[in-house]
Structure 1
Amino acid sequence: MVIARINFKNSPNKEEMSMSKGTVKWFNADKGFGFITPADGGKDLFVHHSEIQAGGGYATLNDGQEVEFEVGQGQKGPCANKVQPL
């Protein structure tokens, strides 16, 4: 039997985790996805409607809308996770 010790004391809390900012390049509400241009000038990131944190239900974004997000890794490359409209 293997027992693992997890040290939560050194785990980052929500305030310590770095959120990125960007602008919605385009979002297709019918298909439920689009792209965000990071404010730091990196490559555009794919965003799926399921990653939009906007109070439940089917959420969409507007072209040109400012957002905050975490950068994640999707099947086809970098993507935006936990997207919060600003």
Structure 2
Amino acid sequence: MAKSKETFNKKEKEKKRLKQRQEKKEKMEERKANAGKTKSLDDMMAYIDENGNITSTPPDPKMRKVYNLEDIQIGVPKYEPQEEDLLRQGVLSFFNTGKGFGFINDAQTGERIFVHMSQMLEPLNENDKVTYEVEKGDRGWNAVNVKKLPKK
């Protein structure tokens, strides 16, 4: 007698294929049965609450916020020079007399600002308290019109 041509793998693949066909047939019958029972538009609606969560209940109209179209900025905002106090105060934290530059630590922001000796109105040493103005340079902010604060 000849050996059977159906192997275990072939039988398993056939079972799997028949099972998938049966599931597909059941899904099709279920769709046909529910074809007349469509959901209303209100049942299908989803809402987003003020926290960004999806809910099935509509939001409260009292919580609604109104925005003006003119207030919405798209893109990069236009540059508007800030009218802040132009005269700043700080401490000359580092100064290299050989190369003629140093850095000032701003008293309010703690920011380090570059200073060149050509912008100093009088000779200064490290740890001197100074007043200065800032201007935009090639590599960042530069201190100009640097003066030593009188000691109290």
> TM-score normalised to the size of structure 2?
0.41
Task: Tell me what 1:66 maps to.
Answer: 129
1:41, distance to aligned residue in structure 2 (A): 2.1
1:77 aligns to 2:140 (yes or no): yes
1:74, distance to aligned residue in structure 2 (A): 1.2
Q: Distance in 1 between matches of 2:128 and 2:139?
A: 24
Q: Distance in 1 between matches of 2:86 and 2:111?
A: 18
Instruction: Tell whether the 8 Å contact from 2:86 to 2:134 is kept in structure 1 after alignment.
Output: no
1:85, distance to aligned residue in structure 2 (A): 1.1
- Which runs of structure 1 show a deviation greater than 6 angstroms over 4 or more consecutive aligned residues? none
Task: Give the number of the structure with larger relative contact order, counting CA–CA contacts within 8 Å between residues 6 or more apart.
Answer: 1
More helix by share: 2
Larger Rg over CA atoms:
2
Give the 3-state SS of the residue equivalent to 1:75 in structure 2. Answer: coil
For this pair of structures, how many residues does the alignment match? 65
More strand by share: 1
1:12-59 Cα shifts (integer Å, max 9, x gaps): xxxxx73100000100011000000011124200000000012xxxx4
1:46 aligns to 2:114 (yes or no): yes
Identity of aligned residues (%): 38
Runs of at least 5 residues in structure 1 that lack an aligned partner in the other structure: 1-16
Runs of at least 5 residues in structure 2 that lack an aligned partner in the other structure: 1-84
